[in-house]
Amino acid sequence: MRATHRAGPRLEEEQPVGRRRGKIPVVPIRVFLLDDHELVRTGLRTLLETEEDMEIVGEAGTVETALARIPPTHPDVAILDVRLPDGSGIEVCREIRSLMPETACLMLTSYADDDALFAAIMAGAAGYVLKQIGGMDLVADIRKVHAGGSLLDPSLSKALLERMRRGSEEDELVGRLTGRRRRSWTSSPRAARIARSPPRCSWRKRR
């Protein structure tokens, strides 16, 4: 009597290495760092280089150096300090957004300054965060702006539109005045009060 042999579970044939299904390669987010403190740049670089999907493509400590180095490196995200020895990161943001609109600019500062915030928005910044931000929060913010998101509080955008509208109305009013009436208006307490008073806006401090 012929013995029957029951086949066991079929094992998957081993495929050549070239045909195996491997991990999809990660295309890193190209990041440029601008800060006048070397210690800050070192800390940011150390933090971001531990992330598999991020790559530091360059860094600078001044506006002049940044404007020379950023265009050739084609970063996806530029992290820009607001206050610099030879100018402002907002100037860099405006220039880079003009030359390379695909680059997202994330402003980094130690101070919650309303005027600088509005200037950054006008320059095309995608976000404005304080240096007290946690490391992983910053990493998440970089990914968000790279994906096309914005870190700006909607109330800030509303305040910006109100500020622009108010400025337009005042410019129109002054434009209608002539001679003595214009000089009287521009030196009046009301004009001085309007010039000194930025709109109120709320800051959301990231933890």
Name the one residue in this structure whose structure tokens are 């280089």.
Answer: 49
Say which DSSP state 110 is in: S
Note whether 53 and 139 are same-domain residues. Answer: yes
What pLDDT sits at residue 22? 57
Name the one residue in this structure whose structure tokens are 């800030």.
Answer: 156
Note whether 140 and 172 are same-domain residues. Answer: no
Torsion angle (degrees, nearest 10) of CA 75, 203, 122, 43: -20
Note whether 116 and 179 are same-domain residues. Answer: no
The pTM of the full predicted model, rounded to 2 decimals, is 0.67
Domain membership of residue 163 as a residue range: 155-196
Name the one residue in this structure whose structure tokens are 């070397």.
Answer: 38
Alpha-carbon gap, residue 14 to 67, rounded angstroms: 53
Note whether 106 and 180 are same-domain residues. Answer: no
Note whether 183 and 129 are same-domain residues. Answer: no
Distance of CA 6 to the CA centre of its chain: 65
Distance of CA 39 to the CA centre of its chain: 20
Note whether 174 and 114 are same-domain residues. Answer: no
Give me the CATH number covering residue 35.
Answer: 3.40.50.2300
Residue 140 lies in a domain: yes
In the numeric block, which tokens belong to residue 165? Answer: 């509208």
Residue 203 lies in a domain: no
Query: Minimal CA–CA distance to 62: which of 30, 29, 94, 38?
Result: 38
pLDDT (tens, 9 = 90+) of the chain, 207 residues, equals: 555 555 555 544 444 444 445 567 789 999 999 999 999 999 999 999 999 999 999 999 999 999 999 999 999 999 999 999 999 999 999 999 999 999 999 999 887 777 888 888 889 999 988 888 899 999 999 999 999 998 876 666 666 667 666 665 555 544 554 444 444 434 445 444 444 444 433 334 444
Alpha-carbon gap, residue 204 to 207, rounded angstroms: 9
Q: Dihedrals φ, ψ of 34, to 5°?
A: -130, 110
Q: How many percent of the chain have pLDDT more than 70?
A: 63
The amino acid sitting at 168 is S
Say which DSSP state 84 is in: E
The predicted-structure confidence for 145-163, as pLDDT tens digits, reads as follows: 999 998 876 666 666 667 6
